[in-house]
Structure 1
Amino acid sequence: MTNTVLDNALTDTGMPLRPLPDEVVDLLRSLEAPPRLAAHLRAVHDVADQLTDLVTGRFPGLAVDRPAVLYGAATHDIGKVVHVEELSGPGTAHEPAGEALLLARGVPARLARFAGSHGSWTRSGIPVEDLLVSLADKIWKAKRVTDLETLVLDRIADAAGVQRWQAFMDLDDILDRLAADADKRLAYQGSYPIRSTR
């Protein structure tokens, strides 16, 4: 049976968001994901796409696995299929559940990890790709997190060989630009129910 509300969340063109990767769309359909989760993943994926473009365009010395960032953003909250209550309230149980779900579905560990790492950016040795997914998951709704932004800033300054103050100014400008459409993204996500009646 087709879940029309979920399909609408995955294909809605009223908000100009980049489509999720086909394999993620298929996964969300097979899991009968909550429509609000699909809308959220589209919003964060779109911001991650823009963020990656802007950061690597401005700082070409920063090596980023772009496909990994985009897949990570598209699936980072997949564990909320299991912990639906975390779509409307706080919680971190979806993180290990999401990683386990992706691994069980045959997703390689290097991609499944984002579901488990997007909330733990302070972990030692965390790759820049994980930081970018975490940052996209905050900036989509215009939330600025100083500790997270500082970690990204340090990676940029080191990799690009630029002065820290210059990297700060450029990153701040990028994040302000991305945050500007947060109200539209929040309204888009909020227009979809947590639970679908099909």
Structure 2
Amino acid sequence: MNSSRSTDPLTAVTDPPLRPLPERAVTLLRSLGAPPRLAAHLRLVHDVAHELTAWLEQRHPRLPFDRAAALFGAATHDIGKITHPGELSGPGSAHEEAGRRLLLEHGVEPESARFAATHAAWAEPGVGVEDLLVSLADKVWKNKRVRELEDLFVGRLAEVSGRPAWEEFHALDDLLDPLGAGADRRLAFQASYPVHP
């Protein structure tokens, strides 16, 4: 992914183009001083979520889901790494609940703040389609395929469509394969920004 190497990953012009984050997410990230690497990551996951939600609307027009909520969730899912910066370059889950609390403290309603906690808890009861979309985008952006997550998502799709799960899986796979193929460019874009401001 080529970029004109803007110092701000939220506005960098890239080839191919990355979609801009929702303005509310940009305002939050700027006001909280999000590290450049985190901003780049959120923009990449949001862009993949955009592809997933567009596909879902086209293939499953009767499936009730909140596209705007899923996109906001993708744009803010790792915001807790602002308070746990070690998790930007290493493993850890402290950012999940911290992110949810941070969003709530800054006026984000609970149904939108939940993604910070649910993006890694996709197997928990009560997780909605929007949560699964954010979790899926957070894996696929780097071409990581998690069969259990994909099976759960496909199961939800098959329930609504009445089509067999294998058919839904093949349709999803036809989307995820080309999305995953862009992982090297996305990883390079993210790595071009420092972990610390």
TM-score (norm 1): 0.94
Whichever residue aligns with residue 9 of structure 2, its letter is: A
Whichever residue aligns with residue 61 of structure 2, its letter is: P
Larger relative contact order (Cα-Cα within 8 Å, sequence gap ≥ 6):
1
Q: Which segments of 5 or more consecutive residues in structure 1 lack a partner in the other structure?
A: none
Q: Which residue of 1 aligns with 2:114?
A: 113
Q: Which residue of 1 aligns with 2:18?
A: 17
Q: 2:83–2:98: 8 Å Cα contact kept in structure 1?
A: yes
1:14: how far off? 2.2
Q: Which residue of 2 aligns with 1:37?
A: 38
In the TM superposition, 1:1-198 aligns within 5 A as 8-15=8-15, 16-196=17-197
Please give the secondary structure, in 2, of the residue aligned with 1:96: helix
1:6: how far off? 8.7
TM-score (norm 2): 0.94
1:125: how far off? 2.0
1:168: how far off? 1.0
50-59 vs 185-194, which moves further:
50-59
Q: 2:6–2:13: 8 Å Cα contact kept in structure 1?
A: no
1:169: how far off? 0.7
Please give the secondary structure, in 2, of the residue aligned with 1:11: coil
| RMSD over aligned Cα atoms | 1.3
1:61: how far off? 2.8
* 1:24-72, Cα deviation, whole Å (9 max, x unpaired): 1111111111000000000000000111111221222322210000000
User: How much identity, in percent, do the aligned residues show?
Assistant: 58
In 2, distance between residues paired with 1:172 and 1:182?
15
